[in-house]
Amino acid sequence: MNETRARHLFRPCTWVYVVLLSLTFITWLVGVNHFSGRFFAFLVFGFALLKGQLIGDYFMGLKQVAGPWRWVVFTWLLLVGILISSAFWQTV
């Protein structure tokens, strides 16, 4: 079990790392340029949720898990996503 997991982990995690960095840069670009409004706010927020899911799946290793624990991070992101979105929808 551990060996299979290790083989899965090594390469994908580096790839994920690069994606995380890229998304962060885009978020930063939006930030330093003070881009505002629904499109940009939800763009970076969507990136944030995606990054969270990647961290959960690949860094925390939840992708390898079967059953309810597989969805811990996803559920959290979903709830937080809904709550924050509903608060921001009308006010950005």
Positions that interact with another protein (CB under 8 A): 1-7, 9-10, 13-14, 17, 20-21, 24-25, 27-28, 30-32, 34, 36, 40-41, 44-45, 47-49, 51-52, 55-56, 58-62, 64-67, 69, 72-73, 76, 79-80, 83-84, 87-88, 90-92
CB atoms under 10 Å from CB of 56, counted, come to 20
Query: How far is the C-alpha of 52 from the C-alpha of 81, rounded, in Å?
Result: 11
Backbone angles phi, psi at 14, to 5 degrees: -70, -40
CB atoms under 10 Å from CB of 3, counted, come to 7
Least distance (Å) between residue 90 CB and another protein: 7
Least distance (Å) between residue 67 CB and another protein: 5
